[in-house]
Amino acid sequence: MMTEPAPTYPDRAPRKSDLIIVGAGVMGSWTAFWAQHGGAGPAGAAGGNRSVILLDAWGTGHPRATSGDETRLIYNAHGSDRLYQDFSRRSRDHWIRFSAEWEVELFVQSGTFFFAHRDNAWEKISADALAKQSIPFEMVSPEDLVQRWPQLGTGGDLRFALYEPQGGVLMARRACQAITRAFQREGGVYSVAAVRPGKSDGHRLLDVVDASGRTWSSDTFVFACGPWLPHLFPRELGEFIKVTKQDVVYIGLPEGDRRFHAEALPGWVDQDAYYYGVPAIDDRGFKIGLNRFGPVFDPSNGERVVDPDSVQLVRRYLPDRFPDLVSRPVVETRVCQYETTSDETFLIDHHPAFDNVWLVGGGSGRGFKHGPRIGEYVVTRLDGAAEGAEHGGEEARFRLATRGNRYERDTGLGDGMAATWKVF
């Protein structure tokens, strides 16, 4: 498998099309690909037969984008949520299919763990739901866990691990580049431009415009702008999507030690402890993220320097689960952001004022894996599929209007991380 060079874009690209997609993160690039290529939807009949322009302010998979990190986890466990289970399962098929077709390694099947601290909690509910769909999984006791993966520790009241052998890791930044290049090969036009809504006529947007006054006109527009959506549409989304700083730490591995690499260790999520991690890939460090809301963050101008508290918090976790990494150094850090909706569910809906504008985003810390299916779903809707055509009433969750700006659980949004963590 090859790695993928960054896509290039022409100086004088067309500025008129049937569909403009603003934002070339995972959601926008997959939407653009399906719209241009065709073959989306359960019958493989949606998309195609239109000219598509994909615009991004900095370029696909750039370091400020939420999709711009190196890796993201993919798994099927979603509690009792059948819709998201279906979304991730179908997305996994697409990730595998297009990795092979494009000859780029986008999916590493390392398996995934969910570490459970209670017997009948989310992990058990997920296991029951996986069983119903015949998706392979194992419930691994702490004793079996350390026998099979001796590099793990079982501290912190570990009750069992839900192991999904078909789970794994997606190569995030590389994927955005690969999807965008595939879109270009299908005849799609990709340009770097930061745009906002321009002229309108009644309930129709006519064009988007950049700071220098250049315009791009189209019949239909999709804004898939991740954490920038509330900045572009402050009235509609300013209170609905919150953007928070999320720190990630990479721990350096012992010399010559492959036990923490993807061929030897699954990706993992420890929900109750608020950590997740990705085994080493491409000889990078062992990634540990804090699955807890950090302070409110500006994705354009926020300084991407991790809080020393984050490093301390990671160090507090290591003795329980990865005791051999306790004295290992931090070799890299990264700051990303969550763009979280009021109920942590994706947003896929018309703009309330424009019939020909769609808003797509609200990944809420979990959207990457679903990218292929989200793009496919958007394209079926653009082609005229009614809401509910595929998943019945479950699809209503994506609407803007049915949800308030009230956060369903105490997310701690806006608070500094150190102040809200129990350990301080």
Ligand X SMILES: Cc1cc2nc3c(=O)[nH]c(=O)nc-3n(C[C@H](O)[C@H](O)[C@H](O)COP(=O)(O)OP(=O)(O)OC[C@H]3O[C@@H](n4cnc5c(N)ncnc54)[C@H](O)[C@@H]3O)c2cc1C
Asked if 22 interacts with ligand X (CB under 6 A), we say yes
Residue 250: CB minimum distance to ligand X, A: 12
Asked if 369 interacts with ligand X (CB under 6 A), we say yes
How many residues in total does the chain contain?
A: 424
Angle subtended by helix axes 82-102 and 371-382, to nearest 10: 100
**Residue 154 or 176 with smaller CB distance to ligand X:** 176
Q: Which amino acid is present at 70?
A: E
Residue 24: CB minimum distance to ligand X, A: 5
Kindly tell me which residue out of 4, 17, 20, 23 binds ligand X, with binding defined by CB under 6 A.
Answer: 23
Alpha helices in 304-384 (DSSP H): 308-321, 371-382
Asked if 296 interacts with ligand X (CB under 6 A), we say no
**Residue 43 or 409 with smaller CB distance to ligand X:** 409
Asked if 26 interacts with ligand X (CB under 6 A), we say yes
Residue 361: CB minimum distance to ligand X, A: 4
Kindly tell me which residue out of 7, 25, 41, 375 binds ligand X, with binding defined by CB under 6 A.
Answer: 25
Residue 238: CB minimum distance to ligand X, A: 15
Asked if 230 interacts with ligand X (CB under 6 A), we say no
Q: Interface mask (CB under 6 A) for ligand X, residues 233-252, using x and -?
A: -------------x-x----
CB 209 within 8 A of CB 215: yes
CB 119 within 8 A of CB 98: no
CB 319 within 8 A of CB 153: yes
Rounded to 5 degrees, what angle do the CA atoms 326, 411, 361 make?
Answer: 100
Asked if 348 interacts with ligand X (CB under 6 A), we say no
What is the β-pairing status of strands 71-74 and 168-171?
antiparallel
Beta bridge partners of residue 289, listed in sequence order? 248, 276
Q: How far is CA 390 from CA 135, 222, 381, in A?
A: 21, 21, 10
What is the rounded CA–CA span in Å between residue 118 and residue 130?
Answer: 18
Please identify, among the stretches 10-18, 135-143, 188-196, 386-394, the one whose residues bind ligand X according to the rule CB under 6 A.
Answer: 188-196
Q: Interface mask (CB under 6 A) for ligand X, residues 42-61, using x and -?
A: -------------xxxx---
What is the rounded CA–CA span in Å between residue 424 and residue 404?
Answer: 32
Asked if 34 interacts with ligand X (CB under 6 A), we say no
Residue 247: CB minimum distance to ligand X, A: 8
**Residue 24 or 140 with smaller CB distance to ligand X:** 24
**Residue 53 or 154 with smaller CB distance to ligand X:** 53
- Helix (H) / strand (E) containing 219: strand 215-223
Q: Interface mask (CB under 6 A) for ligand X, residues 68-107, using x and -?
A: ----xx----------------------------------
What does the radius of gyration of the chain's CA atoms come to, in whole angstroms?
A: 21
What is the rounded CA–CA span in Å between residue 309 and residue 404?
Answer: 33
What is the rounded CA–CA span in Å between residue 262 and residue 128?
Answer: 26
Residues near ligand X, by CB under 6 A? 22-28, 55-58, 62, 65-67, 72-73, 194-196, 224-228, 232, 246, 248, 289, 336-338, 361, 363, 365-369
